[in-house]
Structure 1
């Protein structure tokens, strides 16, 4: 069992005597605070904070992080207040302990909302001081190492949480060693049988491979020596969870994955890395398309290395990573490798630390924009699994994005305003669909237009949390303004029937109704009406204080302009178009759905003023409207082309077409055509009737 003296001795190698004494003081304070408390294993509780501090000492963390590690359960488990810690050890340490304490409340067994709320607390704590998450990762690592004493269900829950949240965070902060241990321990707890089977198979395979590994290692070392290059060559072990993920994700057999031999070459300088690359490419032939230069373009978490795959002796594939000692340290410990707080604290964050800060800043931005905590955690989880692609702006700036990202993700990564006003894109100077996944090395140019708005369909293909959150936010804002506008028109329509209007009603009469409905602003009330959550005539009656008296029905129908946006939709069952007699069905949360007057789907509520509203088309109605036609005609060659050219000749556009052959002679074609109004539809039908062999044309309705 580790002791405080052994830890102090280790710390003295990189911390000053005063700092080591502060860590000792924190230990004795924690020992006193946790006196009488024991872990599930029966050990005194203080062994846990001491073990957490040892993990941070392996990373050479600063004395304040180590003190926070010693005290991280004091607020949570002993009832000692944050203020007491602040007086004893200073504000910074107290803030770190408080931040870690909040994170311990993350619990995946509770409702998803509670889990997501706690994840938001984590983001806030990280934003204040990123050391919070490093102490939390060390705390979780020691808990994972001592999972055996817990029940099976609890073990699986903690392992699931670790694999879903903590391992990806360790990866995002570049902490490879911690991530690998999290994944292997989590895998063992979640799937003990699979873990032990793969472990046995790996041990057996390593025994069989010893000779080949030794030969390849020897030939690589000789190759470096021949070129006068000093470097350490070592065989690289694949970890169990990595093997399991490859077997599942790529549907490969165990033998296929273990057939690839992996080596790492560590040298002193960056230019030596490229000399080594040339030397190994001379020794064995490289596999085309398998070279990656993460030194020139580091990964998002700061990882740097050269990766290449070679055809070794007897055609055995060899994966090689070439990096400097500094890069090796960075790959293993990430943000903890060069802890900035060791310096005077005035320096600007650089390299990996700056990247981590940038990531946390991005998380905070997501949190502010997200509609709720569940939406926030969904966005962050997406960003925690980046398998990057690297693309260029037209000016040559490199942008790193998760795999599968599209031009819309790229646009939002450049700037929120660019994303919101994006209308098209050019990939490598050719016009391309916005939904096309980007490939590394592509140059992406965004075509934007002032006044353009995000399209709800983008949510089906964007990958980054930032794009998803900003699109949702913009759509909510757009929907709100359109709902307020429609709500105002609906309310004024009812008030007009009572010789009144919204402008004529005094503010003091509006406020009690807002209080009754628990709303803050008049806009919130109008939005509720526009969304169909409240009936305009009920609100009007309350405003006019005529509760006993039924208001007269609005005089004349409400005019539809076609520009109402997201809060007004056209029923797919009867596809109304300008010129058709229509009614509006107020649907809670959706706003108004426009139906044909004789649509069967609303026949039961047609005359209910609470549910339906008389509508008419405005004279200046704009837009294109879809209508479904059924065309029966004699079967002939080039049938589809004939129909398309006829619709086109009448300035219509075919949105969808399908054909159903009724018998040998007659074909039935279903067309969805976009038109401006009934007059335009009549022109399209008239044009179709001129085709030879047309038997019947019917407009489809519910």
Structure 2
């Protein structure tokens, strides 16, 4: 596009992207296609002479690449679109002196190599005409139909959006509105950026760096989420060369040195795999898939050194899903598997449609580890081209692709984009949307958690039970009061791990509402936006222990326990705390229920209140990282105090009676109690108790541990991140 077009480093044709995303060497330039040919074809477009009905030489490569994926595709729309684009752009030159038409041609060739359908390629040839020439959208619609008009309009609107690192949040929202419901608009934009990045070399260094940073921060994550790995990996390498030239140079040298090796362990292992699969009579293609520059650099930094097997992976392509598992079984039987490296993205696809089996085998000589990817040819096509390869959303789908209610399952609307469009509509303000989106784009890994009903939830790495609740229930998650993770009660702040099973506990009270503290535990835009939207609509509500010392269901204080008594620090039963802030009201935080002689610290919140936390409380670290200043606090009169204790025991008759009797003998008044259902002959009890003297807490805990069958008693507290 004009705003980002750069002079090509040389007038050589742009090399196409291969099926594996690599860049092939450019074909020798044919003498029959000099620059003059483009001008001749442009005149023909205007005068309507002998080229009518003929296929111009200039789009021969595009048509060839298109027919490789769509043998029966019509090519007349491409011919007419090229002629209109060439005649419209005639006289416009790139900075190198090349006719401007070389840019839309290159962009279209990239998309054709990825398998884009005819309508996308037609719009790609015309994508700059409305922005940079006298052609109007109405003319495009009249000549090529409403669908092409829609796509060209979307790309034109994207060109007007400044979505760089310094962009205002509202501009990115406009970008998504411009994209609408059709990711083909974004696909054309990504191919456009790839060609401009390929031809970036003649620009001033500062402009190269600016464009590279925007590409890194926004467009590469978008390519990842749309599953277009072929574009993503090349963009990463081009950005790497601009922003880290020395690292790029060194990585390039390492790759060249490895390629010059006399022995290639990857090739040897590929031969072994072929032999194993031939013996098992499994038809398969075994390829060596080189890592791109950024991938090699990351592996080197992670491991500290590079083995010869780190420069690539083996790719096994088969015909059917079942063959993938057959290959896996043979490799794990006949070779030495590295079990920790196994991942099944076929049974549980990634959020961007990616499917593959990942495994690794150890070589007998030297113990080098070789990574292996196993997928069908169709999975491979989708892995490389993502949504670009999935067809036309306006074409009636086969019966097996229709939704259960008869509605079409739109292949160009992956779940991530659907959520993205929902976020931009639901966010209460642009800043909330922008901040949550940037956090989401920064995530480079997704985990899968399981629901008790057998369903799954895809969440970003670091997601909590709060995120799971909103992913499963939407805004109904406001009523969530707790969760079980792998069968055990957990706070909503619990960080989930890949493979966890999560059961969300929903309250029956229609007045249930989210806690402001949940924002600290929410990592997904869906959760953050839903919570923020509710808080904005209900000012003054949703206050948590951090604000007023009270505890709420689902917060860090307790495990599904509703408090009905006075808040800690807010009644006469709390031990006195002195704060280094004149006239401040001091309240004990409900998240960690500090009592003497706990080491404590304080933070000022609104209304002249200082909340007091145990020094080891997880909230303390978050408040410090958020820039909150600590207030000095210390224990005064230790009379009174309330604390929540967790007792774990074996199941036996009369246990509850014996335990509560032991607590009463120590002077503890039980405020509330929860006993979980037994699990494998073990049971967990949660008690909130009031003590006549907070210093008696150690004696109370010892008395509880002395009860027959009780094997542990601890203070209930938020689980640490990662736990």
Fold match (TM-score > 0.5): yes
Q: Work out whether 1:279 is the aligned partner of 2:305.
A: no
> Does the Cα contact within 8 Å between 2:265 and 2:309 map onto a contact in 1?
no
What is the CA-CA distance between 1:108 and the residue it aligns to?
A: 5.2
CA distance in 2, matches of 1:270, 1:157: 44
What is the CA-CA distance between 1:72 and the residue it aligns to?
A: 1.1
1:105-120 correspondence to structure 2 within 5 Å: 105-107=160-162, 111-113=166-168, 116-120=169-173
2:314 alignment counterpart: 263
2:613 alignment counterpart: none
Are residues 78 and 421 of structure 1, via their aligned partners in 2, closer, same or farther at CA, if it must alter by over 3 Å?
Answer: same
1:127-142 correspondence to structure 2 within 5 Å: 127-142=180-195
Q: Residue 341 of structure 2 aligns to a residue in which SS?
A: coil
1:451-466 correspondence to structure 2 within 5 Å: 451-466=511-526
Pick the structure with greater CA Rg.
1
CA distance in 2, matches of 1:359, 1:109: 21
Q: Work out whether 1:7 is the aligned partner of 2:62.
A: yes
Q: Residue 178 of structure 2 aligns to a residue in which SS?
A: helix
Q: Which runs of 5+ in 1 are unaligned?
A: 484-561, 563-569, 579-589, 597-625, 634-644, 654-674, 689-702
Q: Work out whether 1:415 is the aligned partner of 2:465.
A: no
What is the CA-CA distance between 1:393 and the residue it aligns to?
A: 1.2
Deviation readout 1:142-174 (Å, 9 max, x if unpaired) = 111111121111111111111222222222122
Alignment partner for residue 375 of structure 2, among 320, 323, 339? 323
Q: Residue 302 of structure 1 aligns to a residue in which SS?
A: coil
Are residues 355 and 383 of structure 1, via their aligned partners in 2, closer, same or farther at CA, if it must alter by over 3 Å?
Answer: farther
CA distance in 2, matches of 1:229, 1:53: 37
1:524-603 correspondence to structure 2 within 5 Å: 574-576=583-585, 593-594=607-608
1:479 alignment counterpart: 539
Are residues 4 and 187 of structure 1, via their aligned partners in 2, closer, same or farther at CA, if it must alter by over 3 Å?
Answer: same
1:340 alignment counterpart: 392
What is the CA-CA distance between 1:363 and the residue it aligns to?
A: 0.9
Alignment partner for residue 528 of structure 2, among 454, 463, 468? 468
> Does the Cα contact within 8 Å between 2:264 and 2:308 map onto a contact in 1?
no
What is the CA-CA distance between 1:373 and the residue it aligns to?
A: 2.6
Q: Residue 323 of structure 1 aligns to a residue in which SS?
A: strand
Q: Work out whether 1:121 is the aligned partner of 2:174.
A: yes
1:574-653 correspondence to structure 2 within 5 Å: 574-576=583-585, 593-594=607-608, 629-630=635-636
CA distance in 2, matches of 1:686, 1:425: 32
Alignment partner for residue 347 of structure 2, among 296, 305, 312? 296
> Does the Cα contact within 8 Å between 1:300 and 1:355 map onto a contact in 2?
no
Are residues 84 and 481 of structure 1, via their aligned partners in 2, closer, same or farther at CA, if it must alter by over 3 Å?
Answer: farther
Q: Residue 260 of structure 2 aligns to a residue in which SS?
A: helix
CA distance in 1, matches of 2:242, 2:357: 34
> Does the Cα contact within 8 Å between 1:173 and 1:356 map onto a contact in 2?
no
CA distance in 1, matches of 2:73, 2:458: 43
1:509 alignment counterpart: none
1:565 alignment counterpart: none
What is the CA-CA distance between 1:274 and the residue it aligns to?
A: 1.4
> Does the Cα contact within 8 Å between 1:298 and 1:304 map onto a contact in 2?
yes
Q: Residue 431 of structure 1 aligns to a residue in which SS?
A: strand
1:501 alignment counterpart: none
CA distance in 2, matches of 1:265, 1:127: 37
Q: Which moved more, 1:354-363 or 1:416-425?
A: 354-363
1:613 alignment counterpart: none
Deviation readout 1:654-678 (Å, 9 max, x if unpaired) = xxxxxxxxxxxxxxxxxxxxx9xxx
Deviation readout 1:494-546 (Å, 9 max, x if unpaired) = xxxxxxxxxxxxxxxxxxxxxxxxxxxxxxxxxxxxxxxxxxxxxxxxxxxxx
2:154 alignment counterpart: 99
CA distance in 1, matches of 2:308, 2:668: 61
2:99 alignment counterpart: 44
What is the CA-CA distance between 1:193 and the residue it aligns to?
A: 1.6
CA distance in 2, matches of 1:686, 1:324: 66
Q: Work out whether 1:233 is the aligned partner of 2:293.
A: no
What is the CA-CA distance between 1:572 and the residue it aligns to?
A: 6.5
CA distance in 1, matches of 2:90, 2:189: 22
> Does the Cα contact within 8 Å between 1:264 and 1:320 map onto a contact in 2?
yes
Alignment partner for residue 253 of structure 1, among 281, 295, 304? 304
Q: Residue 327 of structure 1 aligns to a residue in which SS?
A: helix
Q: Residue 264 of structure 2 aligns to a residue in which SS?
A: helix
> Does the Cα contact within 8 Å between 2:483 and 2:490 map onto a contact in 1?
yes
1:396 alignment counterpart: 454
> Does the Cα contact within 8 Å between 1:263 and 1:320 map onto a contact in 2?
yes
Bigger helix fraction = 1
Aligned residues: 523
1:312 alignment counterpart: 363
CA distance in 2, matches of 1:403, 1:445: 19
1:207 alignment counterpart: 260
What is the CA-CA distance between 1:97 and the residue it aligns to?
A: 1.0
Are residues 89 and 429 of structure 1, via their aligned partners in 2, closer, same or farther at CA, if it must alter by over 3 Å?
Answer: same
Q: Which runs of 5+ in 2 are unaligned?
A: 1-12, 15-57, 544-569, 571-578, 588-603, 611-631, 640-662, 672-687, 698-723
Q: Work out whether 1:371 is the aligned partner of 2:428.
A: yes
Alignment partner for residue 111 of structure 2, among 56, 63, 69? 56
1:167 alignment counterpart: 220
Q: Work out whether 1:75 is the aligned partner of 2:130.
A: yes
CA distance in 2, matches of 1:418, 1:575: 37
1:543 alignment counterpart: none
CA distance in 2, matches of 1:66, 1:372: 36
What is the CA-CA distance between 1:305 and the residue it aligns to?
A: 1.2
**Higher relative contact order (Cα pairs below 8 Å, separated by 6+ residues):** 2
Are residues 291 and 406 of structure 1, via their aligned partners in 2, closer, same or farther at CA, if it must alter by over 3 Å?
Answer: same
CA distance in 2, matches of 1:37, 1:271: 54
CA distance in 2, matches of 1:38, 1:473: 49
Q: Which moved more, 1:94-103 or 1:252-261?
A: 252-261
What is the CA-CA distance between 1:43 and the residue it aligns to?
A: 0.8
Alignment partner for residue 295 of structure 2, among 242, 251, 258? 242
Alignment partner for residue 235 of structure 2, among 165, 171, 182? 182
